[in-house]
Structure 1
Amino acid sequence: MQNNLPANWPLVKLGDICEFIYGKGLPKRLRVEAGVYPVYGSNGVVGHHDKYIVEKPCLIVGRKGAAGAIHLSNKDCWPIDTTYFIKPNEKYSLKFLFYLLKNLRLNSLDKSTAIPGLNRNDAYSLQIPLPPIKEQHRIVEKIEELFSELDNGIENLKKAKDQIKTYRQAVLKYAFEGKLTNGKSEKAKGKGENGELPEGWKWVKLEKLSELITKGASPRWQGFNYINDESQTLFITSENVKENYLEFKKLKYLEDTFNQKQKRSILKRGDVLFNLVGASIGRAAIYNLNRKSNINQAVALIRLRGDLNTNYLSYFLNSNIAKQKYMMDIADVARANLSLTDTSNILVPLCSIPEQTKIVQEIESRFSVADKMEQSIDESLQKAESLRQSILKQAFEGKLV
């Protein structure tokens, strides 16, 4: 750190003013979750207990895992052995040290090759500015004032993002009620428990519109392990299936011989993938790759016949209209899951192919505008986080107060 600080801000070594004390192990099986004292791991609170080992307030520093993460506890607590903790002393305001450590980005000191770790001696060697106590309090007040304004702005941006999600669902609702293409047309057919449809539309079970509805299998059950070979079969799981798109941040591959055992679930370009299990249940996307691929048991493959547009189906399956219908059958199940029978019985609002094509165009036109708005919000959120770091940097260069 360059010494262009105010004259009354000496540079000292972190280890000269505070001690990183090792936390104490507390296995999950021994914790009393009904207890009132938070148990801290590197990522923050990981449980509760009926005893504590550190009096409030204190700082918790990630030692293993989320190495360098900083937490402030205003309650008596139990930091476990993946952490260090720091007690207050007369040399610093604990909140000042909290923000200072965040600015130091201790995670950058990690030298491990496996699990991220922080050696306290590396932290001790860092030089830090140490203003007088009164000035430390002023700095903390200014940081928290600016952070409060920043947090309000971030909250408003997140609300705007939620409103865009609501808008997208409103577009889909109008689309599959026929209002994007028919306006306020008379709804003469399809009345009843399945909802009203414009004249000429009808509810049809998905199985009647599909050439194939199946799912994949677990590689482990078939005796296969993941391999690091992009020339082999790409293996798609529910993690990859997002709403109307496939995400390939985490790629998995299997030997091509897996396809010999699971021929039925080998993917073809244009197949609709539909998540059957867990938190991502109901997400649907179109497979548009030209390569060897297969799926696991949590993903259904829907291969359509010519009377249903794949994009139309993908948008419909991701709509609240569809979800409200097929989720009714699994509302009482502890871990939500859909069977292939449930999937086959999903009712689809069917109109002519030309109208389906027009509906998809209308949806995508509106979603394109929403996507640009969402991108702008995401950029603003990123700038807000950068501004947070800038505030801390200025604070500890003596430029904030």
Structure 2
Amino acid sequence: MIITDSTNGEATTESWTPESFPIPNHWVYADFEQVFENIPLTGLKIPQKEYQKSGEHAVVDQGADLIGGYTNDSNKVLSISRPVIVFGDHTKCFKYISFPFAPGADGVKVLMPRDVVSEKYAFYASKSLRLPDRGYSRHFSFLRKSKFPLPPLNEQHRIVAKIETLFSELDNGTESLKTAREQLKIYRQTVLKHAFEGKLTAQWREQNKDKLETSQQLLARIQQERQARYQRQLKNWQTTVKVWEENDKEGKKPAKPMTPSGIRYPAELELTDLPGGWCWVEYAGLCEQIRNGISAKPEGDSGTKIFRISAVRAMEFALDDVRYIQNIGGIYDQYLLAQGDLVFTRYNGSRNYVGVCAEYKGDGTHLYPDKLIQTRIGVPSLSSKFLEGAINCGDSRRFIESRIRTTAGQSGISGGDIKSIPIPVCGTEEQEQIAIYLSEQTSEIDKMVEEVEAGVRRAETLRQSILKKAFSGQLVPQDANDEPASALLARIQSENATHAVSANKTTNKKLAKPRNKEVRDD
């Protein structure tokens, strides 16, 4: 059972009760200290900014990957005589480590199973725990409060062997599903690339060649539309400023619309040849606004909605992935998104998510943080949906990836990089045809991806079911000849008592050490 803190809805260690279930009579429930020794790491932890891409020694941290980085500092290496369990205090990640390593600095706990506990049994038992989720807060206190079902040592070995046999079969199936998922991602990118190189609409263009604009005509029309839109905005701004002045300049002066930068061909880049009626342009020339978001920190569970960075993925916008910020007096209203805005990720821990964009389709009540970049299209005949697809594939995406810079584990791009993205554009009717073709093809891909994801979820559910049976005594048969777990527990308690007496003697010797006599001059 989990009881939450009424102030923030999060579980507290004091109120949390570990989950337990019936176990065989010859098993016992053991406390954390009876199963693990928490290894001191004083002076060993390596900050993430000091990780190397290669080196003599592996760095193991609380991230999802088994190895977070490398170091050449032998003084930071933890030499272990037996495998250990590395626990991520923030991430709740468990890792089974059987080689010398340097611990990462943030949130790493190294746990050595007691002599009477199988290392792999302790690892799988830990992974079966249902610890509360406190986001990036710490979780070690919950792990220390947990109870561990402890069978006889021989039965522990049988349980581990059975788990690994079943998991091996699951892993083979899951690996096939993940391979299929990656192939579908590649296929999706291929479809998008073909769409925005004009290949999907080649037949349509042949059938409508007498109606198509030339590339020069397309560029001229886009420039004309952008300038006409700017003139309308400028006129509206002048009217708004006049009203502001008539009201004794109350409040902040209305912001002047951004002067169009002009439609520019990215001549210095090597880009894919486009068919007739298409052309490459720099993104800045298509936009009337490109701006970073709010740097103020969100707080509380009420106020104006502001997106998390994770809300934006390539062509996907999670409208419910929000926090809240106090927008008293509408001080942040200028950062409210509008339908059709394309929003980019500016920073992320993963390069794959940097510079991706998605079209905002919300109701205009959402703000965006500093690590996202809002762009607003200033050419009415260019569809935001079309541009969203074009930016996330082909030469446009490759350009973004070439501009990504990584500092202290965070990858990012600038607003200037966004402005310089090369964009393939075509006429309005062809954009509509591309939308139809993409809708048909990507919907089929999405169905296949969902089937694969459902298979991965079923495999994970089965994995958890195996662990639950394993640690309730239902996975392998019991052997009456095995030494009961109570005897193991008694040995653990005896060893702990011996260690405690030894430690007290050492402490007492240190305290009883005579002081050097003071030399006085009489």
State the TM bucket, normalised to the shorter chain: 0.7 to 0.9
| Aligned: 1:137 with 2:162 | no
What is the CA distance between 1:199 and its match in structure 2?
2.5
The equivalent position to 2:311 in structure 1, one of 228, 234, 240, is 240
Q: Note the 1:46-57 alignment, pairs <5 A.
A: 50=74, 55-57=80-82
Match of 1:290 in 2: 363
Amino acid at match of 2:111: F
| Aligned: 1:22 with 2:38 | yes
Match of 1:198 in 2: 275
CA deviations on 1:347-368 (whole Å, 9 max, x unpaired) are: 4332221221121121122111
| Aligned: 1:256 with 2:327 | yes
Task: Please give the alpha-carbon distance, in whole angstroms, between the structure 2 residues aligned to 1:244 and 1:40.
Answer: 32
What is the CA distance between 1:143 and its match in structure 2?
1.9
| TM-score, with structure 1 as normaliser | 0.77
Task: Please give the alpha-carbon distance, in whole angstroms, between the structure 1 residues aligned to 2:400 and 2:143.
Answer: 54
Return closer, same or farther for 1:309/1:87 CA change in 2, 3 Å cut-off: closer
Match of 2:393 in 1: 319
Match of 1:157 in 2: 177
| Aligned: 1:304 with 2:378 | yes
CA deviations on 1:261-314 (whole Å, 9 max, x unpaired) are: 673x44222222233445333211111122333334441312232110111011
The equivalent position to 2:443 in structure 1, one of 356, 368, 371, is 368
Task: Please give the alpha-carbon distance, in whole angstroms, between the structure 2 residues aligned to 1:309 and 1:63.
Answer: 45
Return closer, same or farther for 1:93/1:339 CA change in 2, 3 Å cut-off: closer
The equivalent position to 2:290 in structure 1, one of 209, 214, 226, is 214
Task: Please give the alpha-carbon distance, in whole angstroms, between the structure 2 residues aligned to 1:126 and 1:376.
Answer: 36
| Aligned: 1:128 with 2:144 | no
Task: Please give the alpha-carbon distance, in whole angstroms, between the structure 1 residues aligned to 2:308 and 2:32.
Answer: 51
| TM-score, with structure 2 as normaliser | 0.61
The equivalent position to 1:177 in structure 2, one of 168, 174, 197, is 197
Q: Note the 1:58-137 alignment, pairs <5 A.
A: 58-60=83-85, 62=87, 64-66=89-91, 70-76=94-100, 83=109, 85-89=111-115, 91-103=116-128, 105=129, 107=131, 115-118=138-141, 122-123=145-146, 126-130=148-152, 133=154, 135-137=155-157
Task: Please give the alpha-carbon distance, in whole angstroms, between the structure 1 residues aligned to 2:26 and 2:142.
Answer: 25
Task: Please give the alpha-carbon distance, in whole angstroms, between the structure 2 residues aligned to 1:121 and 1:252.
Answer: 31
Q: Secondary structure at the match of 2:131?
A: helix
What is the CA distance between 1:215 and its match in structure 2?
0.4
Aligned residues with identical type, % of pairs: 25
Q: CA RMSD in A?
A: 4.0
What is the CA distance between 1:386 and its match in structure 2?
1.4
Amino acid at match of 2:373: V
Return closer, same or farther for 1:337/1:331 CA change in 2, 3 Å cut-off: closer
CA deviations on 1:101-151 (whole Å, 9 max, x unpaired) are: 433x1636x99xx7323367744x554332x62x54343223212211211
| Aligned: 1:167 with 2:187 | yes
| Aligned: 1:274 with 2:294 | no
Task: Decide which structure has the larger Cα Rg and report it.
Answer: 2
Task: Please give the alpha-carbon distance, in whole angstroms, between the structure 1 residues aligned to 2:310 and 2:32.
Answer: 47
Amino acid at match of 1:179: K
Q: Secondary structure at the match of 1:204?
A: strand
Q: Secondary structure at the match of 1:377?
A: helix
Amino acid at match of 2:109: T
Q: Secondary structure at the match of 1:239?
A: helix
Amino acid at match of 2:384: T
Match of 2:255 in 1: none
CA contact under 8 A between 1:215 and 1:296: conserved in structure 2? Answer: no
CA deviations on 1:166-206 (whole Å, 9 max, x unpaired) are: 1111111111122222249679977x954322232233343
Q: Secondary structure at the match of 2:338?
A: coil
Amino acid at match of 2:150: I
Return closer, same or farther for 1:46/1:270 CA change in 2, 3 Å cut-off: closer
CA contact under 8 A between 1:275 and 1:283: conserved in structure 2? Answer: yes
Q: Secondary structure at the match of 2:141?
A: coil
